Copies of this chain bind each other. A is one copy, B any other.
Amino acid sequence: MHIDAIDTPAVLIDLDKVEANLRRAQDYADAHNLPLRPHVKTHKLPEMALKQVALGAIGITCQKIGEAAAMADGGLTDIFLPYNILGTSKLDRLADLHARVTLSVTADSPETIAGYAARFGAERPLNVLVECDTGAGRCGVQTPEEAVALARQIAEAPGLTFGGLMTYPPKGGTARADAWLQEAKTALENADLTPKVISSGGSPDLYRAAEGTTTTEYRPGTYIYSDRMQVAFGLGTLKDCALTVKATVVSRPTPNRAVLDSGSKALAADPVPAPYKGHGHIVEYPDAVVTALSEEHAVVDISACPEKPAVGDTVRVIPNHACVVTNLFDTVYLVHGDTVEREAVITSRGKLR
């Protein structure tokens, strides 16, 4: 099937770009002896995760139990879930997952660890890493001393093993995160709690990951597809972006305005960092600016375009943020150039719990 036969809006994944993006990252990782554990949030497809593993990834990363269960169903066997799992319902589901794959989780509070400790037993201990806030201002302990205290709490629980440290560093903050983690690592060693794994992540700094001297595993996510946000952060160019939204020009109300059938339900409202602006890059009209999204429409300023699209024309849009687009569609079309290989169901889409 030719891509012209795909109705819009639809997500197209260029498999050749996927392959190139994955190989480039794996080559870098291999050259620096830094194992990858990709975050599947970007593609949400077991087949893509299996491809990442086949190329050399040591396992995968998910953040929700439902997403991880879909990956386990798809044949993935080694899953890291860097999330504070709380509450009876989720702990029961976590135990089900733990029974069938090699699993690790994180914690950044005594309450979270107490929940794990009460649920898991010595016959099959749960591996727990301590999440560290190395500057990104999200979850994570604030000091190496807190990391040591939580590591000790984990190590002392019969049903838990202390797996090491995990961080999501601030963008451009590899050195800062590394200094933090080095201090924590030393403190842990002094407390006889040597961390087996120190896990860092983020696609924007993927090709600086080896500068993190303490890092033993790296979790890139968006690198597989890339998007405008990643390119703005310095990861490759727009030509590397494997995910596009195919859209139709449904209106040309004025000489300088076009309207697409891909609104915020297709492109998502996530903003893009400077120097980019607007809600996506239109491949065929690089000078166009997607100035506004409503749910079912994208309004495009085409005043800077030497040629203008007509009603009924189709275009390909590189979104600001690929991961949230994947979460809006039930299926994606896997393509080689202009040829559709097949349609794939996004099995872990919408797995919020």
Contact = CB atoms under 8 A, between A and B. Distances in A.
A299 B138 contact: yes
A265 B299 contact: no
A333 interface: no
A233 to B, nearest CB: 14
Protomer copies: 2
A199 interface: no
Contacts of A63: 295-296
19 contacts: A7-B90, A7-B353, A9-B353, A10-B353, A83-B296, A84-B250, A86-B250, A109-B311, A138-B251, A138-B292, A138-B294, A138-B299, A139-B251, A139-B259, A140-B253, A264-B324, A265-B352, A328-B328, A329-B350
A253 B109 CA distance: 8
A141 interface: yes
Interface of A: 7-10, 41, 63-64, 83-84, 86-87, 89-90, 108-109, 111-112, 133, 137-142, 248, 250-254, 257, 259, 261, 264-266, 268-271, 292, 294-297, 299, 310-312, 323-324, 327-330, 350, 352-353
Contacts of A271: 269
A252 B109 contact: yes
B350 A138 contact: no
Nearest to A67: B296
Given A9-B352, A83-B250, A84-B250, A265 B324 contact: yes
A163 B268 CA distance: 33
A250 B138 CA distance: 11
Contacts of A311: 84, 86, 109, 111-112
